[in-house]
């Protein structure tokens, strides 16, 4: 059964979609079968994989509302091992629509349960909010990966997200755990970067990852070409960082399953 990882932070602009795009690409390049659920109405992950929103027949919105099974919304990407359930702005209305539905927090979990049989990893790109879409993603997930930018406001958001994870554990998904806290868009020469990393590792020693994603021009440019950074510029610092992230997550999970 494939592992489901939600990539979430209610604060926007922290590299959430970038992490989904590039982590999936690395997993796929190593031989894993990966499905991305683009659960953010902005659709940045869909675009970053070069998928034209005008040509999409079914989206995650249709899946969530029961209009089609998830298999009919899957789009194969041009990159090894990675497929995408795309999204459009239509998904923005789903958070309100879900409020009137039965088992509203369980909708996504139910929709993707069969897909676990066919993929090694299912990565969910969550919206930058703590609404019913994010709740659905956390209920569906085995774990949550939390990207944070190295700034003090990120610490406040980190505490809030941990509280949400705890509520989801108590109410819907007792198995949910934190996959890790990932530092993104880091500039090593900034004193603040070092301060934030030390502070997070002090308070969350078991969750803070060793891998640090740098602020890197190749990571920023790759989406405009519809490519993950390991295909756009494999030798870049950004590509190497995401290779390290995938290796670290695989190693951490092997330890936990022993």
How many angstroms separate the Cα of 128 from the Cα of each of 82, 97, 106, 157, 253? 23, 18, 20, 11, 26
> Which CATH number fits the domain that encloses residue 157?
3.40.50.300
Q: Is residue 43 part of a domain?
A: yes
Calculate mean pLDDT across residues 26-38.
98
Is residue 258, in this structure, part of any structural domain at all? Answer: no
Structural domain contains residue 160: yes
- Share of residues in the chain with pLDDT > 90 (%): 78
CA 40 to chain centre: 10
Given the structure tokens 């969550």, which residue do they identify?
Answer: 126
Per-residue CA distances from 164 to 8, 15, 59, 103, 130 (Å): 11, 20, 27, 18, 8
Please report the pLDDT score of residue 257 as a whole number.
61
Tens digit of each residue's pLDDT (9 = 90 or more) over 72-120: 999 999 999 999 999 999 999 998 899 888 899 999 999 999 999 999 9
Q: What local confidence, expressed as pLDDT, does residue 12 receive?
A: 81
User: Does 34 fall in a domain?
Assistant: yes
| DSSP-derived secondary structure letter, 215 | P
Residue 257 falls inside a structural domain: no
Between strands 121-125 and 34-38, the pairing is: parallel
Q: Is 121 left (phi over 0), alpha (psi -120 to 50) or beta?
A: beta
CA 188 to chain centre: 24
List 75's β-bridge partners, or say none: 84
In a domain, 30, yes or no: yes
Model-wide pTM > 0.85: yes
Pairing assessment for the beta strands 121-125 and 3-7 based on DSSP bridges: parallel
Handedness of CA 245, 248, 254, 256 (dihedral sign): negative
Nearest by Cα to 67 from 8, 111, 1, 122 = 111
Mind listing the pLDDT tens digit for each residue in 187-225? 878 888 888 899 899 989 999 999 999 999 999 999 999
Check whether 229 has a pLDDT greater than 80: yes
Write the CB contacts of 206 (distance below 8 Å, at least 6 apart in sequence). Answer: none
Residue with tokens 């019913």: 132
Residues 170-189: pLDDT tens digits? 999 999 999 999 999 998 78
Listed in sequence order, the residues at least 6 apart from 32 whose beta carbon sits closer than 8 Å to its beta carbon are 81, 120, 121
Q: Do 14 and 220 form a contact (C-beta atoms < 8 A)?
A: no
Residue 196 lies in a domain: yes
Residue pointed to by tokens 């923005």: 92
What's the number of domains the chain is made of? 1
Structural domain span for residue 42? 3-248
């Amino acid at each position: 059964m494939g592992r489901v990882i939600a990539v979430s932070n209610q604060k926007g602009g922290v590299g959430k979609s970038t992490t989904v795009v590039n982590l999936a690409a690395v997993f796929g390049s190593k031989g894993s079968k990966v499905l991305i659920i683009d659960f953010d109405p902005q659709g940045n992950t869909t675009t970053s994989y070069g998928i034209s929103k005008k040509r999409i027949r079914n989206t995650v919105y249709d899946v969530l509302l029961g209009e089609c099974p998830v298999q009919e919304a899957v789009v194969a990407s041009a990159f090894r091992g990675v497929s995408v359930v795309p999204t459009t702005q239509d998904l923005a209305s789903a958070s309100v629509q879900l409020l009137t539905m039965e088992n509203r927090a369980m909708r996504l979990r139910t929709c993707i349960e069969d897909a676990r049989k066919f993929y090694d990893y299912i990565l969910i790109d969550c919206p930058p909010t703590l609404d019913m879409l994010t709740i659905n993603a956390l209920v569906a997930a085995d774990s949550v990966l939390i990207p944070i930018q190295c700034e003090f406001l990120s610490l406040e958001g980190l505490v809030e997200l941990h509280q949400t994870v705890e509520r989801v554990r108590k109410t819907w998904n007792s198995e949910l755990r934190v996959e890790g806290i990932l530092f993104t868009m880091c500039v090593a020469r900034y004193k603040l970067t070092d301060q934030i990393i030390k502070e997070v590792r002090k308070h969350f020693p078991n969750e803070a990852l060793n891998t640090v994603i740098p602020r890197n021009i190749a990571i920023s440019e790759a989406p405009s070409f519809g490519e993950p950074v390991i295909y756009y510029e494999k030798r870049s610092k950004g590509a190497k960082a995401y290779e390290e992230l995938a290796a670290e997550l695989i190693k951490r999970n092997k330890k936990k399953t022993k």
